Structure 1
Amino acid sequence: MSPVPPTESVYDRIRLRQWRLGRARTAGVERRTLLKLLATASAAGSFAAAGQASARAAAPAAPGIVKPLPPEVFTVRGTNAETNFAALRSTGHLTPASHFFVRNHTSTPRIAAADWKLTVWGSGLRGPAVEFGYDDLRALPPVTRTAFVECAGNGRSYYTTQQNQQVSGTAWTLGAIGVGRWRGARLSDVLRRAGLAAGAVDILPRGLDAEVISEGTNLGRVRRPLPVAKALDDVLLAYEMNSEPLPPDHGFPVRLIVPSWVGISNIKWLGDIEVSDEPLVSPWNTTLYRLFGDNYPPEGSAPLARQTLKSAFELAQGATVTAGRKQMLTGRSWSGGAPVRSVEISTDGGTHWHHARLRDTPRRGDWVRWSAEWVPREPGPAVLLARATDSSGRRQPEVAVPNTQGYLFDAVVRHSVTVV
């Protein structure tokens, strides 16, 4: 029987205390190097205007991305591709692979299934390392989960454009999210077959993409620890996306799916998993993917875990609508904490609010589509707002608490249109 997973806040407080006291082992990078990078991460960021300009003039391709990136569907942001949210209006509940955003730290590797293997190893096993091939994984009992994958920086640009706060990182609007139907093996099955020991506390999945260079330091391949209790709960080793083999840009042959947690946890192109009987840390939960700034201690917040609450219109920013003609406003809302309970819409900048009609059954770790009718009356500029409330009672705030790296923006987004 699986242990009950600790709340992420409890786990994060424990790991943060262990990291500060030097009791968590750094995997692949010296502690002094991480401390140096930590000082850089905690400094005030600079939201790159050049990055915004290049995104507006982006070519329909990005270095290291395999699939086509038509400009009506994607905005290219460096090595990444953001889904234009308006392009989702013509899709269903699931995000097609052709429309699914791409977050690459380097570039998409091309890996043949016949050559792939997963190595499970470490002090948290009862015996030596165990290898699984692609066919071995597919022979395990399959599980299907519908879940979103969302970059922790989704919505980052609004810290600057709405709140006039300078942050660092990719200038995402709200399109660094997609919902897929993932099929694969339970991570718990793999760990138990590998000989998980009773004293195991953390696992460290690692990708097969190229090593990451940051501030002149080689951080190694992308990797981020998970508590064993979470790994035994609902984590999936996925080999299918929407009933098809994973596309290269989305993790083929095998990726991790960690429902409701920030996107970095969902390691793509999985190559090995270290199982440890002592706490583990990596750059991706110490200097990156934590909250720094005036509202947080010098060493930052606890590492990010669950995603936050957001809403987006399936309508281009700055779109033109016709006065006196009924408009069907559509969009999507989602939360990593609890199922979305309700969505409210304002068409006058927040003076009046009306409930939207939910078109899906709300589920945690998923989004719900919604719609609302609007007849614009007067020509001129208008501001549309959408705010969600989840079943825990949390509602999107008017202002997001800032942090230097621009993570977890959750405020209501001001969506400008023009009535003609």
Structure 2
Amino acid sequence: MSTSRRFTVDLFRHSCRRPLNPAPSFRLRTSTARSLHTTRPTLNGPARPSPSTSPKGPNPAARGARVAPVGMLVGGGVLASLFAVAWQDHDDDWEPKSVQPSSQDRDGRDPSLPRFRLSDVRKHDGSSPEPWVTLEDKVYDITEWVGAHPGGDVILRAAGGSIEPYWKIFSIHNTAYVREILDQYHIGFIDTADLVNGRPAAEAIEDPFETDPVRDPRLIAHTTKPMNAEPLTDELDVEFKTPNELFYVRHHMWVPVVEEDKADEHALTVELPNGEERRYTLAELKERFPIHKVTAVLQCSGNRRNDMTRHAGKTNGLQWGVGAISNAEWEGVRLSDVLADAGLKVASATAVTRPSGGEDDDALDPKSLHVQFSGLEAYGSSIPLPKAIDPSGDVLLAFGMNGKPLPRDHGYPLRSVVPGTVAARSVKWLSKIVVSDEESPSQWQRRDYKSFGPNEGANPDWSRAVSIQEMPITSAITGVWVGDCVRNSKTVWQKSSSQSGNVIDLGAVDKKVGVTSTPKPSAEPIAVQGYAYSGGGRAITRVDISLDGGKSWDQAELIDDCATPGSCFGNKAWSWKRWRYLGKLPTPETAGEEKACSTVVVKAVDDAYNAQPETHSSIYNVRGNLATAWHRVRICPTCVDKGDGKGVVWSTGDKFGCGFKKEGEAGEERK
């Protein structure tokens, strides 16, 4: 068999052996900050010179060969693509060698893959143009992953050694989902000479989270390294503007450290499509541009993901309750002003057509461009340029939050705030802006924050789904009280911006409403509160409430938090709409009767008459994004006989649903 043919057969055999995972390989970097490979292993032998450094010059097919099995699933003939890659990768000045594993490597592991000594792996550290990592007894070449890895160059901390100690810290990454992506870069195994009981010696690393800020104990942490937390459900919307310390926290890595005495020196680089750059310090932004305020919600695309899990099926990602959403007053400078100052010239963002021959005939078409944001901790995301420069879009480069400097957890000293858009586009610790003809190449833009049809299962075609930008309409219940918990309560309930004090007597609120069906004579008072929100600046116009699982409906009272001048800022309805409701709940007439449970349901409508879907099964996706179906909370009031012959006392009892207890604890069936 000729050398060329033998290489082709070896490649075919190896490719068929590798798992055909349809996840993309994300070789999408727009810059060339890292050089191409200088060495790489053969499929069944030691490292050889890379075709990229061959005297014949770069060979793009060499890079394509390693991700060919993934690409084949997207389109094209399997054999044709495979053999084309194999033959193009052949160089006359390179002789592949068939290397048989030694007796010590005949250990049940794939004999066609090479073995590497740990001393060789260490040479491929973060300074190497070809970084490697190990996991258990496997070796991975992550060169092509670095550009799109969640964390970017952060993964280079592990290069040359094991990734396992980092995953013990970054527990959020130690999932089958991430391992499937990593498996695409598997190149060999650790030599048995460096293994003890099948594993290399454990490594100790410095904890990068040691400098993270202290968080409010009222936050419910889903993960601590990195911190991802939401406030207690009944604390979430007590105030219109969420207190900074209770604003939900969504991190992918540790919090960057920027010293307060150096904050004004923090630099923001703006790069235009032609490659020109303009650098601004924070002090310069504050001094040279008008200061603006915007009152806006930030909401994670995974808000209420746990609701979708409960009612539709397993989802990947943090199991947020109803609290991955918060509202604040942001202060900063308009992104549009900064881009114009940096020299960006585009056609009118609102013009569908424009006359030819005008003086702006050479201006760029904003509809073909994107604004990419990058943070200090390597997070990246982007928005369409028309949103960035729309005068009514209110996109800010913010340095203030609720009248104070940005807290460290929320982007200190500078972040983008993109109202009406998924919070994943409001990048914290902002350090660079690039105006480009493509979306951000990061995984957060190209994969994580997308949604797709409920039929696409666990391995959707991510390339077919558009990145989430404007958020759909949603609503949620944050508090329920029944019976004497309403009559006699002086508890924290929602207060409007114009009201003073910290408590409202629920029994004293003047609102006589009830469900459309006729309640039993022994009906007890019920008080419900929550929030509603729609993206794109669309205002909430109605919130519907049902106390019987959706059979009959009534409308909640919408709190006008923006009635007082100076309480809301912005050109559109960027903030949430809080609502509250008082009604009558039918209950058993005596304490001896069986406990009665009722399902309270909420759904909202915005000014474009968008409404929430009824079920999560109709919008199910394995990432659990955009879980916006009707919010259902099952309540099981309790009663006690007062013993005076005057009846019983009813109280709220248990509450089950997303943001409250698990349904299984009440035996509730999925709907």
TM range (shorter): 0.7 to 0.9
- Alpha carbons of structure 1 residues 86 and 104: separation in structure 2 relative to 1, 3 Å: same
1:267 corresponds to which residue?
Answer: 427
What is the TM-score of this pair, normalised by structure 2?
0.50
SS in 2 for 1:110: coil
- Alpha carbons of structure 1 residues 206 and 133: separation in structure 2 relative to 1, 3 Å: same
1:6 corresponds to which residue?
Answer: none
Matches within 5 A, 1:109-258: 109-112=256-259, 113-124=263-274, 127=276, 129-139=277-287, 140-163=289-312, 165-197=313-345, 198-199=363-364, 201-209=369-377, 221-233=378-390, 234-258=394-418
- Alpha carbons of structure 1 residues 279 and 402: separation in structure 2 relative to 1, 3 Å: closer
Is 1:285–1:303's contact at 8 Å kept on the other side of the alignment?
Answer: yes
SS in 1 for 2:386: helix
User: How far apart, in 1, do the equivalents of 2:430 and 2:476 lie?
Assistant: 31
Q: Aligned-pair distance for 1:235?
A: 1.1
User: How far apart, in 1, do the equivalents of 2:307 and 2:483 lie?
Assistant: 18
Q: Aligned-pair distance for 1:82?
A: 1.3
- Alpha carbons of structure 1 residues 156 and 124: separation in structure 2 relative to 1, 3 Å: farther
State whether structure 2 residue 254 is matched by structure 1 residue 107. Answer: yes
1:384 to 580, 600, 603: 600
State whether structure 2 residue 311 is matched by structure 1 residue 311. Answer: no
Is 2:482–2:525's contact at 8 Å kept on the other side of the alignment?
Answer: no
- Alpha carbons of structure 1 residues 291 and 357: separation in structure 2 relative to 1, 3 Å: same
Moved more, 190-199 or 278-287: 278-287
State whether structure 2 residue 626 is matched by structure 1 residue 408. Answer: yes
- Alpha carbons of structure 1 residues 377 and 186: separation in structure 2 relative to 1, 3 Å: same
2:545 corresponds to which residue?
Answer: 345
State whether structure 2 residue 220 is matched by structure 1 residue 75. Answer: yes
Q: Aligned-pair distance for 1:294?
A: 4.7
Gaps of 5+ in 1: 1-19, 40-47, 52-61, 210-220
- Alpha carbons of structure 1 residues 151 and 124: separation in structure 2 relative to 1, 3 Å: farther
Is 1:75–1:82's contact at 8 Å kept on the other side of the alignment?
Answer: yes
Deviations 1:3-58 (A, max 9, x none): xxxxxxxxxxxxxxxxx9x9x8646899979996999xxxxxxxx9x99xxxxxxx
Is 1:342–1:355's contact at 8 Å kept on the other side of the alignment?
Answer: yes
Give the aligned residue type for 1:231: A
1:395 corresponds to which residue?
Answer: 611
Q: Aligned-pair distance for 1:324?
A: 5.8
SS in 2 for 1:414: strand
Matches within 5 A, 1:255-334: 255-277=415-437, 280-292=440-452, 294-295=454-455, 298=461, 299-315=463-479, 326-334=525-533
1:335 corresponds to which residue?
Answer: 534
Aligned length in residues? 364
1:66 corresponds to which residue?
Answer: 213
User: How far apart, in 2, do the equivalents of 1:407 and 1:319 lie?
Assistant: 36
What is the TM-score of this pair, normalised by structure 1?
0.78
Is 2:545–2:556's contact at 8 Å kept on the other side of the alignment?
Answer: yes
Moved more, 153-162 or 375-384: 375-384
Q: Aligned-pair distance for 1:277?
A: 4.8
User: How far apart, in 1, do the equivalents of 2:464 and 2:379 lie?
Assistant: 20
Cα root mean square deviation, aligned: 3.4
SS in 1 for 2:398: strand
Deviations 1:148-167 (A, max 9, x none): 0000111111111122x111
Deviations 1:338-373 (A, max 9, x none): 211100111121121110011126863221111111
Give the aligned residue type for 1:87: E
- Alpha carbons of structure 1 residues 63 and 394: separation in structure 2 relative to 1, 3 Å: farther
Specify which structure has the bigger relative contact order, considering alpha-carbon pairs within 8 angstroms and separated by 6 or more residues. 1
Give the aligned residue type for 1:367: W
Is 1:205–1:270's contact at 8 Å kept on the other side of the alignment?
Answer: yes
SS in 2 for 1:380: coil
User: How far apart, in 2, do the equivalents of 1:156 and 1:316 lie?
Assistant: 21
Give the aligned residue type for 2:476: A
1:9 corresponds to which residue?
Answer: none
User: How far apart, in 2, do the equivalents of 1:390 and 1:170 lie?
Assistant: 28
Q: Aligned-pair distance for 1:396?
A: 1.3
Q: Aligned-pair distance for 1:310?
A: 1.2
SS in 1 for 2:585: coil
SS in 1 for 2:560: coil
1:97 to 237, 244, 247: 244
Give the aligned residue type for 1:416: R
Is 2:481–2:528's contact at 8 Å kept on the other side of the alignment?
Answer: no
Q: Which has the higher strand share?
A: 1
Moved more, 377-386 or 365-374: 377-386
- Alpha carbons of structure 1 residues 34 and 356: separation in structure 2 relative to 1, 3 Å: farther
Is 2:270–2:432's contact at 8 Å kept on the other side of the alignment?
Answer: yes
Is 1:124–1:276's contact at 8 Å kept on the other side of the alignment?
Answer: no
Q: Aligned-pair distance for 1:402?
A: 0.9
SS in 2 for 1:286: helix
The sequence identity of aligned pairs, in percent, is 31
User: How far apart, in 1, do the equivalents of 2:406 and 2:604 lie?
Assistant: 31
Gaps of 5+ in 2: 1-23, 37-62, 75-171, 176-208, 346-362, 487-521, 563-571, 588-594, 639-671
- Alpha carbons of structure 1 residues 34 and 358: separation in structure 2 relative to 1, 3 Å: farther
Is 1:94–1:242's contact at 8 Å kept on the other side of the alignment?
Answer: yes
Q: Aligned-pair distance for 1:65?
A: 4.9
Give the aligned residue type for 1:373: L
User: How far apart, in 2, do the equivalents of 1:34 and 1:75 lie?
Assistant: 40
User: How far apart, in 1, do the equivalents of 2:454 and 2:443 lie?
Assistant: 21
Give the aligned residue type for 1:121: E
User: How far apart, in 1, do the equivalents of 2:482 and 2:341 lie?
Assistant: 54
